[in-house]
Structure 1
Amino acid sequence: MTSGSTGGRPPETSGAPAAPEPAAIAGERRHLTNLAYRLLGSLADAEDVVQETYARWYAMTPQEQAAIQVPAAWLTKVAGRICLDVLGSARVRRERYVGEWVPEPLPDGTEWVSGRLGGAAVDPADSVTLDESLTMAFLVVLEAMTPAERVAFVLHDVFRYSFAEIGEIVGRSEEACRRLASSARRRVRQEHAPGVPVARQAEVVREFKQAWEAKDIGALVGLLDPRALAVADGGGVVSAVLKPIEGGERIARYAVGLTELAPGLELLEHVVNGRPGLVLRREGVTVAVMAFELAGDRITRLWAVRNPEKLRSWTSEPA
């Protein structure tokens, strides 16, 4: 095949650039969904963002599409801007949300660890691994950020975009984006507990499950930090405590009381957002998904998602 070969395709009849191949555009869906989920903490919202991004792409003429030099960058820019809008409106929606709002939990799956190869050079001290950026603890910290902070931080520290690229998305200068990411990074360092090896996390979660099944309040208290915090999200759709439960002993007693109120509750160990967690089922139906944060050998945070709208990904999950 000569250097001028078109590989079997008909030769171009004009000097106009060709529109990108549909497969190449469709191939960005996974990356866009991963990005939008980390920005929004909701798979449903992330899917809506990706759908809207593709709708805007296909609304253009082939000539307009062909004029875009890097379609993947265009798609990311559009998705990022839509996420900014969604984050702004989400603050208003969550003021009306019944009870506590917890990010939507994701089951185990490599499709959720998808990043950008290459990208900006990032100091290792200013970077977050893709799988760490999926954890419930990390996503909860992101919730405390402003929309612009969240976008700048996630795009730069997680997905390795340059501040120049981020500036085009958030409509600010490179230096302003750098300050946003720096501010967000400080929040993460202040609020995010040091990592505990996953194997040890699994052991503690298993011990917690066994103590819960045995209704052993003493063992549960021993696994919980005295200042532990438990947060439940029922979304006003199903019953759940409306305020966080504070204190290891209170959490232990509440957990044991819950099993007495819901006989037949089955506790299953499961990977939740890339970390050891629990799935609660009753009569074969997933009724809650629990994520944990640990410091040393003790549980410091528990998040229980009961809102069925956030459990769609778990309805057909095997035990």
Structure 2
Amino acid sequence: MNDMTPIAKTLPKDWETDQEVRWCPGCGDYAILKAVQRTMPEIGARPENTVFVSGIGCSSRFPYYMETYGFHTIHGRAPAVATGVKLANPDLDVWIITGDGDALSIGGNHTMHLIRRNLDCQVLLFNNEIYGLTKGQYSPTSHVGTRSPSTPFGSLDRPLTPCAFVLGSGARFVARAIDVNKNLPAVLKAAYAHKGTGFVEIFQNCIVYNDDVFAPFTEKANAPGSQLWVEQGKPLLFAGGTKGLSLDTERLVLKVVDVVDGDWAAAKVIVHDQTNRAVAHMLVEMPFGPFPMALGVLYDDPAPTFEAAVVAQNAQASAGKKPDLQKLLSQGQTWQVQKQPHVI
């Protein structure tokens, strides 16, 4: 094949491996896997140019099921490995697959530094608010009162909000989706199109240890009044357009308002601006119940990437210089070990 030969478009099956997919029957991971495999051909990605990196957890089996390069690494360290991969070959498409425990507990430090550096990669955080692989202990995102083997009387920890955490770490792209929702592929495409770290929190149902924890906003009957799918340049409406979000200018907080006869402007519903970091913070921290769950691309404001800066710095440092390995090895304090006479 020469450079002029067109590359055939891939199909979803081209991204499937011969490995048996082994998650619990009914696990939300199956839906996410299929969504990713369907999305890859549509974004024009190539298996030979793609790397999936995971840590430890149920979600971290993902690389086995993608017909790409992959690394199943150690607990919480997927961001570090992914950074090494991207720096070694910036042309690769790098995806990080992680869970709420993997990324936000033992891996919280690594996640924070990946985000602040703005490595060009996609992070898919499967949030089921529980440690599924190790048999149902509570996680950093578990609700107060969660009963588990490690909290038999109910968790007392205030849960961490993943999107708020990464926004506080300097994230330039933040999105939310649901494992079985038809909008997940669109969110994945937006993350891939973003130049920099694309962080996507995916609400994923753990059917064994935390079943239906997200039902108040994921169940079909509840969805219209409890889901707010944001769209750039569109008013923040939900409940079939009968309710929306307005900004309380005195307290600088969002509030739910009624929309009469579709006149959202009269109700002072704000229009979604995905470059507005302050509103993005408000959206991710809205308490569910009084407010809907904000979903979709909540924040997207690109900035220079880490690997691009590293490549530029290395090019500048090496400009006009010729590589000389012997000179490098002999510089500084060096000595030669002389052969000693054999003594009996």
TM-score interval w.r.t. the shorter chain?
Answer: under 0.3
Pick the structure with more helix per residue: 1
Structure possessing the higher relative contact order (Cα contacts under 8 Å, 6 or more residues apart): 1
Larger Rg over CA atoms:
2
